[in-house]
Amino acid sequence: MTEVCKEERGTAERWSLRSGAVSVEILSLGCVIQSIRTPDHSGHRADIVLGYDHAEGYLSNPRYFGAVVGRVANRMAKGRFVVDEKEYKLAVNNGPNALHGGLKGFDKAVWTTEAVDNGVKLSHFSPDGDEGYPGNLNASVTYRLEKNTLSVLYHAQTDRTTPINLTNHSYFNLAGQGTPDIYDHEVTISAESYLPVDDTMIPTGEVKPVEKTLFDLRKPVLLGSRLKELPGPGFDHNFCLCSPGDPPLERKCARVVHPGTGRVLEVSTTQPGVQFYTSNFLDGTLKGKGGAAYSKHSAFCLESQNWPDAVNQPHFPDALLRPGETYTHTTRFTFSVL
């Protein structure tokens, strides 16, 4: 049975979930996963996600540590889209593009909370016109910790057609947050194809097989050596887990192993893609838990989501939520030891 408890933390509520040796802390501010503590092969528990010691640190949170991002996660080309023949323009906050829902996206909201079996449900109302998006949107995210698996269930409904793409932006380091890099992690991603991007990180539209490329992660790859080979600052790419139109079945999509501690993270999702990001834009200026300076390649993200810029690319999976429909998806993080 999972222990669930709540405490007030000034700017936010903090909910603590514990099941066996795994514990998770959730903040109502930004729907943030503040900490995940798991044991290594010696039984030593450590926090394996980047972030801040106090809720106040998440008020700005420029790199979205642990937050749920929306309405639309990832990049949208030129901050624009068309729905029902009407063009909508969004704040441009990442080069020439819109990123992670805008200047004040879901990561900046204080969500309402309620206890559920083995977890907590957080809810947020986004009014028509919020950050430029159409429709009144009711969204919820439910975190459940059962044995050694953290399940994240997303739901949303709208009264006008709107693009939507929700994900959690946790940064992991299985050696423990504050460890300088992830070069000794072994990564597997079960994807046959990925999305190449242009120089502003927008998908070009090509769906490219990973075969005979540096993006072939179908067998375990040591991150340090692969990042040395990879052109550019690192991975920040969508890996395609299924084809557009495929049913939303839950699929195992990724496995990461840290041999030094024996910690293993496995991810499954009903989403058609996962954005693999190697914290290329951390530069040591952000000070996190315990005063740790978070530098480039000090963590990785596995953001289960729709394909980036799908609302502007008709051959990508459908990115629109319509009145009467329910947006829903599930992602599970399972923690174990070798």
Helix (H) or strand (E) holding 223: helix 223-229
Exposed e or buried b per residue across 99-124, where buried means at least 16 C-beta atoms within 10 angstroms of its C-beta? bbbbeebbbbbbbebeeeebbbbbbb
List residues with catalytic annotation.
Answer: 169, 303
pLDDT tens track for 198-212 = 999 999 999 999 999
Asked if residue 74 belongs to a known ligand binding site, the reply is yes
Q: Is 307 helix (H, G, I), strand (E, B) or coil?
A: coil
pLDDT score recorded for residue 149: 98
Which of 189, 174, 150 has the alpha carbon at shortest distance from 274?
189
**DSSP annotation of 269:** E
Cα torsion 212, 171, 296, 97 to 10°: value is 80
Q: Residue 226 and residue 235: Cα distance in Å, rounded?
A: 10
Nearest to 323 by CA among 157, 126, 166: 157
Query: 3 is written with which tokens?
Result: 């222990």
Task: Say what the pLDDT of residue 16 is.
Answer: 97
pLDDT, tens digit, for every residue of 25-36? Answer: 999 999 999 999
151 assigned to a ligand binding site: no
Residue 58 has pLDDT above 80, yes or no: yes
pLDDT, tens digit, 9 for 90 and up, residues 218-239: 999 999 999 999 999 999 999 9
Helix (H) or strand (E) holding 123: strand 119-126
Q: What is the mean pLDDT of residues 4-15?
A: 85
Which residues, listed in sequence order, are joined to residue 125 by a DSSP beta bridge? 138
Residue type, 66: G
Which range among 2-6, 149-153, 289-293, 315-319 shows the weakest confidence by mean pLDDT? 2-6
CA 1 from centroid of its chain's CA atoms: 27
**In the beta sheet, which residues pair with residue 287?**
293
**Is 160 marked as binding a ligand?**
no
SS3 of 10, please? coil
299 φ, ψ (degrees, to nearest 5): -165, 170
Is 75 assigned to a binding site?
yes
